[in-house]
Amino acid sequence: MPELPEVETVVRSLARLKGRRIVSAEFTCLRVLRGGDPDHMAASLAGRKITGIERYGKFILASLDSGAYLMIHLGMTGKLLLGGPAGKHTHAVLTLDRGVLLYDDSRQFGCIEYHERFPARVARLGPEPLRIAFEDFAAGLRGRKTRIKALLLNQMFLRGIGNIYADEALFRAGIHPEASASKIRGERAHRLHGAIVEVLTEAIEAGGSSISDYVDAQGRKGFFQFSHRVYQRTGEPCVACGSKVRRVLVAQRSSHFCPKCQKR
DNA sequence: ATCGGTACCTGCACGC
DNA sequence: TGCGTGCAGGTACCGA
């Protein structure tokens, strides 16, 4: 479900958790704990105060007054919900001194992990796409043999871009998803960098894209799906030239593009 | 070191 | 109504 704009929207909607104390925690799905021990996690979290909620790419880190972290990744279908009844796919319940936080994830591709220190997995991620300078972005493209779409999805290259915003940024930049990354230089690299910043910024302002069931922690949908120009528009006319939007697989992911507007 | 393909899980839309 | 197929915002892991 969630890429950078959706996770950013969720984190903003969780701002009120700062300063709250965790009374108790319950974990009911081993898979999303990724090897973590549910009893140890519950014992470590009980009584701790949440001192901050931050986003790193698509990861959410809640820092605790003990110096430890609760790391959450929403995968494809993960949701963090403030209140509301637990459902069939509710895997974690944090009872707070005021309110309750639920983790719900039907496909179980997401995770909740407890870390005594800043998680190495987050530390290894590439830079934030909204902060990287153009010169660093262009340098990152050099010598990369892979196709640009695959590189944009690589979280070690940039953190936070997923399938929707990779396709939308490439369309806005006029670059074919199968273009070789190393061949994107100069003006084209500049356009791509600008398109990434632009589309992510607009999507955050719209509260993200609600394709099927994405909602923020207060159950609100985003509306950037109405502004998609190519994503899931296969066969429909290009908004710029009227050609039919096409779909190809790149790195096993659906990639939507205009065959006339986007060049290799 | 990099890259591409596969696996993981559930739900939904579709054609028969 | 049910069944098979393909598809879906994600990453990890394997071999080449």
**A4-123 CATH choice from 3.40.50.720, 3.20.190.10, 3.40.50.800, 3.40.190.290:** 3.20.190.10
A49 Cβ partners below 8 Å, 6+ apart?
A: A19, A20, A21, A22, A64, A65
Q: Which residue has the tokens 């459902």?
A: A87
Q: Which nucleotide is nearest to A252 (CA to C1')?
A: B5
Provide the CATH topology of domain A134-257. Answer: Helicase, Ruva Protein; domain 3 (1.10.8)
Q: Which of residues 2-21 of A touch strand C (CB under 7 A)?
A: 2-3, 6
Cα–Cα distance measured from residue A245 to residue A234, given in angstroms and rounded to the nearest whole number: 5
**pLDDT one-digit tens code per residue, A107-145:** 999 999 999 999 999 999 999 999 999 999 999 999 898
- On strand C, nucleotides with any atom < 7 Å from a protein CB are 7-12
User: How long is the CA A247 to C1' B15 vector, in angstroms?
Assistant: 21
Question: Reduced to 3 states, what is the DSSP secondary structure of residue A166?
Answer: helix
Q: What is the pTM of this model?
A: 0.97
Q: Which nucleotide is nearest to A166 (CA to C1')?
A: C9
**pLDDT one-digit tens code per residue, A136-153:** 999 999 989 899 999 999
Residues of chain A with CATH 1.10.8.50: 134-257
User: How long is the CA A107 to C1' C3 vector, in angstroms?
Assistant: 22
Pairing, β A59-64 against β A69-73: antiparallel
Residues of chain A with CATH 3.20.190.10: 4-123
For residues A13, A24, A121, A103, the Cα torsion angle rounded to the nearest 10 degrees is -50
A246 sits in the region (left: phi over 0; alpha: psi -120 to 50; else beta) called: beta
